[in-house]
Structure 1
Amino acid sequence: MLTVAVLISGTGSNLRALLEAAAEPGFPARIVVVGADRQADGFAHAEAFGVPTVLVPFREFETREEWGDELRRQIDVWTPDLVVLSGLMRLLPAELVDAWAPALINTHPAYLPEFPGAHGVRDALGAGIAETGASVIVVDSGVDSGPILAQERVPVLPGDTEHTLHERIKPVERRLLIETVRAIATGEIDLAAYRTDAGAAAAASDPLIP
């Protein structure tokens, strides 16, 4: 059984979908803890499913690195096999990425490497393209630049706004996330194949590396 930690910042809609999937009989993963960098509404989903929560407020630390050190300490207590960034609106320090990767994944509302960054949906609309998409990636030290684990195209329709387009991307994003977690749990996706030199150096002592 794959154990999963999920990190959020907001409402946790992807988290809710993953919790519901994990509650289904036969799903090969379970969520052991949900963490956040602020008091997030998504904690309510975790509580509804009886999953412990961890709050590590970013603003209480002088540096990103200090915040990352505390976040790692709080999450490592649960020794998860995988960490999922699910709407965490905070860049992780490079040292934390190196420690957790490649067992660290994220979703993005675009067909990477197209339109990385915080405004992927808006940028796709602004480019006037006919299709965008959703992606699930291994997190690396760049901005949405890690290896792609799964992705799917989503059409841009006439009259689409940022809101309407994003609302059509979200269900695809959730499904891809659930499918990816399932594939990691069953071994269909071997995250060890995505291990960087930095990740390999951390693997011997880090419980997050399978």
Structure 2
Amino acid sequence: MFSTLSNTGASICLLDIRTIAVAQLHRYETWLGPAEVARYAGFVRQLRRRQFLLGRALLRASMGEMLEVAPESIALEERPSQAPRLLAPAGGPYFSISHSGHWVACALSGTTRLGLDIELRDSGRDVLALARQAFGAAVAADMEKLPQEERRKAFYQRWSEAEARYKLGMDAGACVNLAHAELSIVLCSAAPLTHAPALLLSGLASD
């Protein structure tokens, strides 16, 4: 799945968590380290628990395939209010993970730091009010001129880019928007990618 990673510079794996049976979750729970288990146990909402577990499982499965190691051998360090850090194997790829609604995603690169954000576009949200709060009156006024669906897409694209840049940890760098029917997907990288990132669906067995 990640055979083209060295050529493209980055790949994104996207998973609809509704495709994973409840009976299969125990297998992925055994992949978690002690700190991850403690955090996982602390989530009250079932959706958030599944997002966390399957986000970490997707990352391990994708990274394991890239490095040709067992997913359960990949060790991550939990960091409060920060992305996890890769402990083992040493010298592994750069990565970023994100979740929204019933989707989780991870991005991997062997060459550059990444910041990934996905957002489920919610037709019920007042995106103009959110734009005024997040981006200011001028940006909201520009969005108001757009047709409703284009306005929603523009808001979520801008929001995703802001979140992806935050995860990257820098205002500079290059950002790419990827098309998806339900999601706004933005990947930012410290160094420009040589090609558009590959968007790969699934990544975990569904049975």
Which TM-score band (shorter chain)? 0.3 to 0.5
Structure with larger RCO (C-alpha < 8 A, sep 6+): 2
Normalising by the residue count of structure 1, what TM-score does the alignment of the two structures yield?
0.33
Normalising by the residue count of structure 2, what TM-score does the alignment of the two structures yield?
0.33
Larger radius of gyration: 2
